[in-house]
Amino acid sequence: MRKLEGRWALVTGSSRGIGQQIALGLARRGCNIIVHGREARNGRKTIELLAGCEVQTHLVAGDLATEPGIRAVIDGVNAHPGTLDILYNNAAISNRSTPLFEFPMEVWLQTFQVNLFAMIRLCNAFAPGMRERGYGRIINLTSGIADQPNLAPYSVSKAAVDKYSRDLACELKDANVLVNYLDPGWLKTDLGGPNAWEDVETVLPGALVPALLDDNGPTGRLYSAQDYKMLER
């Protein structure tokens, strides 16, 4: 099925891990991919993996923890040869396990900067164009983390992602710009660690479901990638 053929998708943090899997899954369905990494060299492996999918690719680089980095990503996307149809806000950071009351404010601020504020900046940059064109799919990566106050900056930032996603969905209702949030599951990645429950490949095909929704489909909803892991990838 190549339902997304000819569309363009930006997947932040697609130089490895979950983002790389999402990029590959989209490309296999005919979607052109904008690969993102903190540095350009980080995205080259994903570009190589996409070479066999017969899609167009474009590489952008920028550290989402910094204002110049976010601007570089936005400018890089605007310089690509198409219009952005699909946005996966996948890039995120976690924290070292720390007693709740001992987290420095710098950790809270840095975590929210990458996990929430950068995501909002990208939505502000690209969602209005999607609304004007009458098509868009925005998927914000969240987490099912619970009862781990030792990782509070990460978990609280992801709760904020959920609420923002619902607000953005309401703002864009009736525009055929569907905004949903995706829990990929606890996966063996650099962020999830080696003791996670699932291999990173199990994020497919479930992670693609919000991008494959029919026009004027569900919006403002939580999807769990692991609910679909028994389906054929």
Task: Based on the residue annotation, tell me whether 223 is a catalytic residue of this protein.
Answer: no
Radius of gyration (C-alpha) of the chain in whole angstroms: 17
For the residues of 21-81, what is the DSSP string, one character each?
Answer: HHHHHHHHTT-EEEEEESSGGGGHHHHHHHGGG---EEEEE--TTSHHHHHHHHHHHHTSS
C-alpha to C-alpha distance for 52 and 57, rounded to whole angstroms: 11
Of 88, 154, 181, 223, which is the active-site residue?
Answer: 154
Alpha-carbon distances, residue 39 vs 4, 13, 64, 72, 90 (angstroms): 27, 10, 11, 11, 16
Nearest Cα neighbor of 30 from 11, 56, 66, 58 is 56
Q: Return the number of other C-beta atoms located less than 10 Å from residue 2's C-beta.
A: 11
- With H, G, I as helix, E, B as strand and everything else as coil, classify residue 1: coil
Determine what percent of the chain falls in helix, strand and coil, rounding each to the nearest 5: 45, 15, 40
Residues forming the active site: 154
